[in-house]
């Protein structure tokens, strides 16, 4: 077999579909976010980043930067081992205490990423339970889908946020069979929000555990940044709450919070937790500082919501097809992978605006879009600039302006 040829053809097929991935070579500038340097073959240029998940700019906050620098100077760079073999640092323990407190749970467990937290926890918890069935929202993130697959448990997918469908699936299962419902709060690509309370009601009625991914909500919602479940007073009704330290908290790493028994079980059995070096102490220190800061400060959250609402209002006012939702995410529908890429290339070349095109498999085919994430540091001048640039691109490429009503999902 000509292996080289095989992979060249595989990539060519992806190119032909218009979904070849080009990574923007960026150099972030602490203190100057949302500006960054963009490195290209023609040199370096300053651009405005409009698609970062550093939703609040905590990655450049003095508290997080100072905590990281201080930890590097005191403890050095790497953790030096897995959690079990010399890699548990006091900073890991403190971070886990902070996170358990954030969600009002008995315990927390930190992983090297939110992806691993989902994969390792879902696969282990479901595997430990005898004969468990997993009920999974159809729009769940790839990391949850992978964890569910690795558990080798039967999976039943319910239509996105469809309570009747979920209930009909639950009804058909024996009352005493183990069940786990996995879903998200803020869905990252459409920006809609899960029916947390109603799903918890169903879980209680049919005897199911609940697993909530709050990755796009922690730090951003709730009086202490505990997410949508905190905002709605529902944290105690969820069996497991999962989050990331890499988005609103501006660092890296993922976690779960739950009862001590569940955390202990995952800690003792999940390969994705056990067999990997723990997070660097400096990351733990920065994340702890970030979580602590956002537990007491409302400034960033308030400004973030105001900015997101402003961008949505401005883009809609000029007739751009903003996909409506109740969260901070601003998706603008293009509906074609090639044109989506052209639009973002034009934004970068003509206007110095960086927005990554979102294509399949991240979203369903036909729903390709720009996913805009305003932050507290995108001021009015930058919003004006964005609005004019998008209008120019929409005119140049003759893109459609129909206001999307419902989002077509596979």
Minimum separation from the CB atom of position 243 to ligand PLP (A): 9
x/- mask, ligand PLP, residues 73-112, rule CB under 6 A, reads ----------------------------------------
Only one of the segments 36-44, 208-216, 321-329, 339-347 lies at the binding site for ligand PLP (rule: CB under 6 A); that segment is: 208-216
Which residue of this chain has its Cβ atom nearest to ligand PLP in the complex?
Answer: 114
Rounded distance between C-alpha atoms, residue 59 and residue 27, angstroms: 13
- DSSP tag of 188: T
Rounded distance between C-alpha atoms, residue 410 and residue 408, angstroms: 7
Work out whether the CA dihedral 152, 216, 214, 190 comes out positive or negative.
Answer: negative
| List of residues 6+ apart from 335 with CB closer than 8 A | 366, 367, 368, 369, 400
Q: Given candidates 52, 64, 89, 118, which one binds ligand PLP under the rule CB under 6 A?
A: 118
Output the DSSP codes for 385-404: HHHHHHHHHHHHHT---PPP
Task: Give residue for tokens 């997918």.
Answer: 157
CB closer to ligand PLP, 146 vs 162: 146
| 368 close to 335: Cβ distance less than 8 angstroms | yes
Minimum separation from the CB atom of position 142 to ligand PLP (A): 8
Rounded distance between C-alpha atoms, residue 337 and residue 369, angstroms: 8
Q: Given candidates 52, 89, 113, 359, which one binds ligand PLP under the rule CB under 6 A?
A: 113
Q: Which of 358, 387, 355, 388 is nearest to 372 (CA)?
A: 355
Q: Of these residues, 105, 179, 247, 312, which one is catalytic? A: 247
Q: Given candidates 145, 166, 180, 246, which one binds ligand PLP under the rule CB under 6 A?
A: 246
Q: Which of 237, 188, 177 is nearest to 214 (CA)?
A: 188
Q: Is 337 in the site for ligand PLP (CB under 6 A)?
A: no
CB closer to ligand PLP, 188 vs 290: 188
| 82 close to 277: Cβ distance less than 8 angstroms | yes
Binders of ligand PLP in range 277-296 (CB under 6 A): none
Q: Is 254 in the site for ligand PLP (CB under 6 A)?
A: yes
Active site residue 179: no
Whether the link from the prior residue into 45 is cis, omega within 30° of 0, is: no
CB closer to ligand PLP, 146 vs 392: 146
Only one of the segments 113-121, 232-240, 272-280, 362-370 lies at the binding site for ligand PLP (rule: CB under 6 A); that segment is: 113-121
Binders of ligand PLP in range 135-154 (CB under 6 A): 141, 143
x/- mask, ligand PLP, residues 173-202, rule CB under 6 A, reads -----------x---x--------------
Rounded distance between C-alpha atoms, residue 343 and residue 352, angstroms: 12
Minimum separation from the CB atom of position 245 to ligand PLP (A): 7
Q: What are phi and psi of 23, to 5 degrees?
A: -85, 130
Catalytic residues: 247
Contacts with ligand PLP, residue ranges (CB under 6 A): 113-115, 118, 141, 143, 184, 188, 213, 215-216, 244, 246, 254
């Amino acid at each position: 077999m000509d292996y080289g040829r095989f992979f060249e053809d595989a990539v060519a097929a992806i190119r032909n579909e218009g979904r070849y991935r080009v990574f923007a070579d960026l150099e972030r500038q602490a203190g100057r976010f949302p500006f960054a340097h963009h490195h290209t073959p023609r040199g370096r240029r300053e651009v405005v980043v409009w698609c970062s998940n550093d939703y609040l700019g905590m990655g450049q906050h003095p508290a997080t930067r100072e905590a990281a620098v201080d930890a590097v100077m005191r403890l050095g760079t790497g953790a030096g081992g897995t959690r079990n073999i010399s890699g548990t640092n006091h900073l890991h323990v403190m971070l886990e205490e902070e996170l358990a407190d954030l969600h009002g749970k008995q315990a927390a467990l930190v992983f090297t990423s939110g992806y691993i937290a989902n994969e390792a926890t879902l696969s282990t918890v479901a595997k430990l339970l005898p004969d468990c069935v997993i009920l999974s929202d159809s729009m769940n993130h790839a990391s949850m889908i992978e964890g569910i697959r690795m558990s080798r448990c039967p999976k039943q997918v319910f239509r996105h946020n469809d309570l009747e469908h979920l209930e009909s699936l639950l009804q058909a299962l024996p009352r005493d069979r183990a069940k786990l419902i996995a879903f998200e709060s803020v869905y990252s690509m459409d920006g809609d929000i899960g029916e947390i309370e109603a799903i918890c009601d169903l879980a209680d009625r049919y005897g199911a555990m609940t697993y909530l991914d709050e990755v796009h909500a922690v730090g951003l919602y709730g009086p202490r940044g505990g997410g949508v479940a905190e905002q709605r007073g529902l944290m105690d009704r969820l069996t497991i709450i999962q989050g990331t330290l890499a988005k609103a908290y501006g660092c890296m790493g993922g976690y779960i919070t739950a009862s001590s028994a569940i955390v202990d079980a995952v800690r003792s059995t999940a390969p994705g937790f056990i067999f990997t070096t723990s997070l660097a102490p400096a990351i733990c220190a920065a994340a702890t500082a970030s979580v602590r800061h956002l537990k007491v400060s409302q400034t960033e959250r308030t400004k973030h919501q105001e900015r997101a609402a402003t961008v949505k209002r401005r883009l809609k006012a000029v007739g751009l097809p903003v996909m409506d939702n109740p969260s901070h995410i601003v998706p603008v529908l293009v509906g074609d992978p090639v044109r989506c890429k052209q639009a973002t290339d034009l934004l970068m070349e003509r206007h110095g605006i960086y927005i990554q095109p979102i294509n399949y498999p991240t979203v369903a085919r036909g729903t390709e879009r720009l996913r805009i994430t305003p932050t507290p540091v995108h001021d009015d001048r930058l919003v004006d600039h964005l609005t004019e640039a998008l209008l120019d691109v929409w005119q140049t490429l003759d893109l459609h302006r129909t206001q999307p009503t419902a989002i077509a999902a596979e």
